[in-house]
Amino acid sequence: MVIVIIIIFLMITFLVWLIGYWGIASIPFERKARSGQVKVACVGDSLTYGLYVRNWYRNSYPKVLGRMLGKNFHVRNYGLSNRTGMETGNRPYQAEKRYRQSLSFAPDVVFIMFGTNDSKPNNWRGEKEFIRQYKKLIQSYREVPSSPAIYLLTPPTPYYVEGKTEGNMKFEIRKPEIMEIRDAVIEISQEWELKVIDINRKTDKHREWFTYDGIHTNVGGSEAIARTVYDEFKEEFQTKRQ
């Protein structure tokens, strides 16, 4: 009987972990935007979704950002774990229902942050190819009829797990490629005259903002990202704040 209880407990624990890992994209948590609210879509991978963030639904960076912006803004989290910005990646965001939902949301503002999973050996195809494919993703938001303001976020700085100092990081994330992606995002923003928010630079030398794996943010990291986005964004929409 004890063994059965242990097995059931382990199965439930694994299920909870799996739900958090892949995201709960199909459950309609979001309320509808009220008339007059500025609709904000936060698009990205697990770092947007809030994987491993304690009480992720409240403490993911989009949720924190929403509280900072106030009731004149309706912020939705369209992050999905383990997804890439490149359509040739092993799990491209463009193939997901969540991507289509972010477009049909008709946002007024879009924050886009990919790159962490694109850096993996099985996904990376060089900076030039990343730029080509990432432009295609960004362009799909530029073509949304609501003509949203688009902000590009560079991927956060990755860190090693404790005791490791070389080679690939957890989940095969690679820092040199992350830095190439940072440069690529900045290049796209300059070429297309889009606003860039350098989360990579903001999170540099802040290992304390990340969980044990060095890749995913904790509550402090989510708050830091939200604050950085808010500070860059607030002046343009100051009149709409409380």
Q: Report the pLDDT value the prediction gives residue 11, as an integer from 0 to 100.
A: 72
- pLDDT tens-place string over residues 89-103: 999 999 999 999 999
Residues 6 or more apart in contact with residue 131 via CB below 8 angstroms = 184, 187, 188
Q: Tell me, what CATH number does 185's domain have?
A: 3.40.50.1110
Task: Please give the model's pTM, rounded to 2 decimal places.
Answer: 0.86
- Is 240's pLDDT higher than 80? no
Strand partners, 77: 42
Number of domains composing the chain = 1
CB atoms within 10 A of CB 68: 18
DSSP secondary structure letter of residue 29: -
Whether 15 is covered by a domain: the verdict is no
Give the β-pairing of 109-113 and 73-79: unpaired
Q: Which domain holds residue 220?
A: 35-240
